Amino acid sequence: MKILHTSDWHLGRSLYGRKRYDEFSAFLDWLADLVESEGVDALLVAGDVFDTSTPSNRAQELYYQFLCKVSASCCRHIVVIAGNHDSPSFLNAPKELLRALNVYVVGAISENPENEVIILNGPANEPKAIVCAVPYLRDRDIRAVEAGESIADKNAKLIEGVQKHYAEICRIAEEKQREFGDIPIIGMGHLFTSGGKTVDGDGVRELYVGSLAHVGEDVFPVSIDYLALGHLHIPQTVGKSKHIRYCGSPIPMGFGEAAQEKRVVLVEFNGRAPLISELPIPCFQELERISGNMDDILARIDKLKSQTSKAWLEIEYTGSKIAANLRELIEEAVTDTGMEIRRIKNRRTIERLINLADKQETLDDLDVNDVFIRCLDTYEVTEEERPMLIQSYREIVQDLQEKDLNE
């Protein structure tokens, strides 16, 4: 049986206001063709299908068109779990209808843990694999709140909650494995593991308050033969376990990911031993980050021109001279080239100090925690008062992020 592992599509995401539907459409077409050419039996989507809990009509159209196309191919099963960006109720709403297409959707944990255990059948309707489709586990799903808890107490409870949930789901899978024979158990999840690699600007946010609840490879039951993870955008294994993997996002989520080679993971089972290979994803839209003085920037743009590049550009000016006409010079340099300037950052400290009205720092440069720290600075909150205020603020932000607007 061939399994294809993908995750973190983030359909509907934009880049500094630029819609990216052409990229998403090209990726999904490529993925459907890959499923057919590789003879994939089951496709796993490990969370963050959409970029927001209220995706646009165009993002939904891409998703449902893709499911219909792949379900009519050689692929007999598609398993989709929710990530932290997804709305559980939105993903779950059409799940009974999608079952007719052999698409299994798990948007949230339920009272019956067997709903997260899915049997993948072969051509003769014989069981070939068992999937433990564990969605993103929200704080309230796995931890009971107690008064007076420290951040360390909360994180310990979160890790314990994750471990107990996987143990319960895998216990059910192991029972079915004894019933059906020695077929593989495939886990899914959307979480942050210890030592996980990220890059600046990838949009990967901490999942829990305190940012310490990163689970280790020892949290997952040893009965799992392959674990398909989502949330981190860089392809990577977890610890020393080659069978526990993130496939990463299929397109760069920001300029920090521009140099990465994106991948999906193909897993072939003959018995329970997985044969794992990573397949590169083509680049559907070139992103280019240029940094330096004006001569450096213009020289790089000229080089891209000679290559007839259609790249989207993020430019950071770091020269020592004041460049009052920076934007005009750069826009003139890319005129009629097909390249697009998505962002210009002027890091000239003296210029920012002289002319604060033209300060280049924007909300794009800050996350929600940075903004709160700036507020504390503005109101001159003491260092002694800050820890509890920051913890309370982060709990409020997390509650807002996890609130399902579609319920």
Sorting pLDDT into bands at 50, 70 and 90, what band is 322? confident
- What is the per-residue burial (b if ≥16 Cβ within 10 Å, else e) of 309-333? bebbbbbbbebeeebeebeeebeeb
SS3 73: coil
pLDDT given for residue 211 in this prediction = 47
Instruction: Select the more confidently predicted residue: 196 or 346.
Output: 346
Average pLDDT value for residue range 215-240: 93
Give the rounded percent of residues in the chain with a pLDDT score beyond 90: 64
Which residues have a Cβ under 8 Å from the Cβ of 322 and sit 6 or more positions away? 348, 350, 351
Mean pLDDT of 136-165: 82
**pLDDT interval class at 154 (50, 70, 90):** confident
Separation in Å, CA 172 to CA 77, 85, 86, 183, 224: 20, 28, 26, 14, 12
- Among residues 8, 123, 114, 38, the alpha carbon closest in space to that of 77 is found at 123
Residue 218 CB partners (closer than 8 Å, separation 6+): none
Contact between residue 334 and residue 310 where contact means Cβ atoms under 8 Å apart: no
Residue 263: is it exposed, middle or buried by C-beta count within 10 angstroms (0-12/13-18/19+)? buried
How far apart, in whole angstroms, are the C-alpha atoms of residue 301 and residue 312?
Answer: 11
Name the CATH code of domain 2-280 (choices 3.30.1370.160, 3.90.650.10, 2.40.30.10, 3.60.21.10). 3.60.21.10
Per residue in 29-75, pLDDT (tens digit) is: 999 999 999 999 999 999 999 999 999 999 999 999 999 999 999 99
Helices (H), 39-147: 57-71, 88-92, 95-99, 139-142
**Terminus-to-terminus CA distance in the chain, angstroms?**
37
Residue 346 confidence (pLDDT): 80
Looking at per-residue pLDDT, the higher value among 379 and 339 belongs to: 339
Gap between the Cα atoms of 26 and 250, Å rounded? 11
pLDDT beyond 80 at 405: no
Q: Which CATH number, 3.40.50.10320, 3.30.530.80, 3.30.160.720, 3.40.630.10, labels domain 286-362?
A: 3.30.160.720
Q: Which residues contact 210 (CB under 8 A, 6 or more apart)?
A: 151, 152, 154, 155, 391, 394
Distance CA 128, CA 122 (A): 6
**Residue 249's closest CA among 267, 229, 269, 268?**
229
Question: Model confidence at 350, in pLDDT bands (50, 70, 90)?
Answer: very low
Parse the chain into domains and list their residue ranges: 2-280, 286-362, 366-407
3-state class percentages of the chain: helix first, strand second, coil last, to nearest 5: 35, 25, 40
pLDDT score recorded for residue 349: 44
Mean pLDDT of 12-40: 96
| Average pLDDT value for the chain | 87
Which of 80-84, 93-97, 363-367 shows the lowest mean pLDDT across its residues? Answer: 363-367
- DSSP label at 231? S
The closest alpha carbon to 83, from 25, 22, 11, 24, belongs to 11
Q: What's the whole-model pTM score?
A: 0.84
Which pLDDT value is given to residue 360?
Answer: 53
What pLDDT, in 10s, does the model give residues 254-298?
998 888 999 999 999 998 999 999 999 999 999 999 999 999 999
pLDDT single digits (tens) 166-216:
999 999 999 999 999 889 999 999 998 877 777 665 556 555 444 445 788
Contact by Cβ (8 Å): 263, 279: yes
Task: For residues 232 and 305, give the distance between their C-alpha atoms in angstroms, rounded to a whole number.
Answer: 33
Answer for the pair 51, 13: CB distance below 8 angstroms, yes or no.
yes
- Residue 108 has a pLDDT of 94
At residue 166, what are phi and psi to the nearest 5 degrees?
A: -65, -35
Residue 2 confidence (pLDDT)? 97
Mean pLDDT of 245-252: 96
Would you give the DSSP letter of residue 219?
A: G
* Predicted local distance difference test score (pLDDT) of residue 400: 66
Structure tokens at 342: 């998505």
The dihedral through the CA atoms of 107, 112, 117, 123 has a sign that is negative
Cα(376)–Cα(374) distance, integer angstroms: 5
pLDDT of res. 215: 80
Rounded to an integer, what distance in angstroms lies between the CA atom of residue 8 and that of residue 188? 13
